[in-house]
Amino acid sequence: MLTQEKVKVYTVTELTREVKAAVEGTFPSLYVEGEVSNVKMPSSGHLYFTLKDATSQIQAVFFAFRSKGVSFTLQDGMKVVLFGFLTVYEKGGNYQINVKRMEPAGMGALQLAFEQLKKKLLQEGLFDAKRKRPIPWVPSKIGIITSPTGAAFRDILNVLDRRFSNVHLILAPTLVQGDGAPSQIVRALDLLNEMDEVDVIIVTRGGGSLEDLWAFNDEGVARAIFQSRIAVISAVGHEIDWTIADFVADLRVPTPTAAAELVITKKSDLLETLVQAKKKMVLLLSNRVGFLKKVVEGFTQHPVFKRPGARLEMLSQSLDLAFERCSRQLIHLLERKKAALKTLSTGLDALSPLAVLGRGYSLTRILKTQAILKNVTQLKVGEEVETFLSKGSVVSVVKDLKVTP
């Protein structure tokens, strides 16, 4: 026995619950700052991590139903400020911070989320200048995604009315801030692309705080702009305001007014350009016609056009001379070939077996085999032979064979 005295003996569970009650009663709410490490997020969506400083550490849990409101991604090495309460996890017997809210230390949560998303999309190539589409010079129809009651829309209408009063506009009305704004902006982009009627899209709203402009820092909005088949101009906030939509868009302009000024040229400037182009075309055509007229006049002074038949007569005479020359050469060639043929014929006649037969000789062949008879040993008594003379042939039967020594 450790002691004979009557003392309270706790079970592990009882002791843990006592500690839990004491800890949670003492620290019902608190702020803690530290560095994050060992971040884990199982399929439940809860965040488990360690919060530490130079000499100590404590475990923390951020349940999914609370962490959904955090705009940035928790990463190892990040310094944060937590608000929550201290609790004891009875099963493990360790104490931990149950987090209610969390912000980056030294940087606002929205600014951190902005930088994280910007880095992510940059690495994926969504900001690549090579993929950006050109803005049409004179679009026939302009799509506008904004709030129909906002100052940005009124500014665009006023500027376009002054610059090109009858330009065709298609408004896709959306919220431009608040929780529902990103999904509406994405849907508006999809609808304008499905319509396939507009040549360029302006995504716009007026100025405001980072929170007011946050719908244009949404990842879904950024990817919808990137996937748009139609060129997109981003005109969000004032000149100093930059959003993720600005980086992804094919063109970023500092204000809605600037978007209206850049999306289409002034009609008066366009008409003046056309007038000047017409004058230039008339001048060029006039110069060309004058040049061609001088060329034609030069042709009319050429001897060929003064006496067209002279050239034909000369060519006809040349053709006659050429024909005569060719005829003489052809006759001369034929005579040479005839003489050569005669010489060859005489030589062949001298070598012909018929010429030999004409001098009293004969040629005999075995009738059955058609073999020319050169030696009496080729024959048998009773065999038929054919003898060729200078004129005609004689078929005979061998009766006797005489072999000369």
DSSP-derived secondary structure for 172-204: EE---SSTTHHHHHHHHHHHHHHHT--SEEEEE
Cα dihedral 111, 115, 116, 119 in deg (nearest 10):
170
What are the helix (H) ranges across 303-400? Answer: 303-306, 308-351, 353-358
- Label residue 186 by pLDDT band (50, 70, 90): very high
Say which DSSP state 94 is in: E
Q: Which residue's structure tokens are 């994280």?
A: 116
The arithmetic mean of pLDDT across residues 14-22, rounded, is 80
User: What are the counts of helices (DSSP H) followed by strands (DSSP E) for the chain?
Assistant: 12, 13
- Looking at the whole model, is its pTM more than 0.85? no
Please provide the average confidence, as pLDDT, over all residues in the chain. Answer: 85
- Label residue 281 by pLDDT band (50, 70, 90): very high
- The structure tokens listed for 79 are 């310094």
What is the rounded distance in angstroms from the CA atom of residue 118 to the CA atom of residue 187?
Answer: 22
Q: What pLDDT does 191 receive?
A: 95
The arithmetic mean of pLDDT across residues 381-405, rounded, is 82
Q: What pLDDT does 108 receive?
A: 62
User: 12-106 maps to which CATH number?
Assistant: 2.40.50.140
Q: Above 80 in pLDDT, residue 397?
A: yes
Q: What pLDDT does 389 receive?
A: 81
Note whether 66 and 45 are within 8 A (CB): no
Q: How far is CA 52 from the centre of its chain?
A: 49
The arithmetic mean of pLDDT across residues 356-384, rounded, is 80
Q: What pLDDT does 107 receive?
A: 61
Give the residue from 69, 73, 65 showing the smallest Cα distance to 45.
65
Q: Domain spans of the chain?
A: 12-106, 114-268, 357-397
Note whether 242 and 214 are within 8 A (CB): no
- State whether residue 272 is helix, strand or coil: helix
| Residue 364 φ then ψ, to 5° | -120, 140
- Which range is least confidently modeled, 224-228, 287-291, 298-302? 298-302
What is the rounded distance in angstroms from the CA atom of residue 265 to the CA atom of residue 5?
Answer: 99
Topology, domain 114-268: Rossmann fold (3.40.50)
Say which DSSP state 158 is in: H
- Residue predicted with more confidence, 354 or 250: 250
E strand or H helix that includes residue 264? none
- State whether residue 18 is helix, strand or coil: helix
- Residue predicted with more confidence, 261 or 7: 261
Q: What pLDDT does 48 receive?
A: 92
Q: What pLDDT does 82 receive?
A: 87
E strand or H helix that includes residue 382? none
> Phi-psi region for residue 159, left (φ > 0), alpha (ψ -120 to 50) or beta?
alpha
Encode pLDDT of 89-116 as tens digits. Answer: 888 778 889 999 888 876 666 777 888 8
Give the CA count within 13 Å in the CB-facing half-sphere of 56: 4
Burial class (CB in 10 A: 0-12, 13-18, 19+), 314: exposed
- Residue predicted with more confidence, 197 or 228: 228
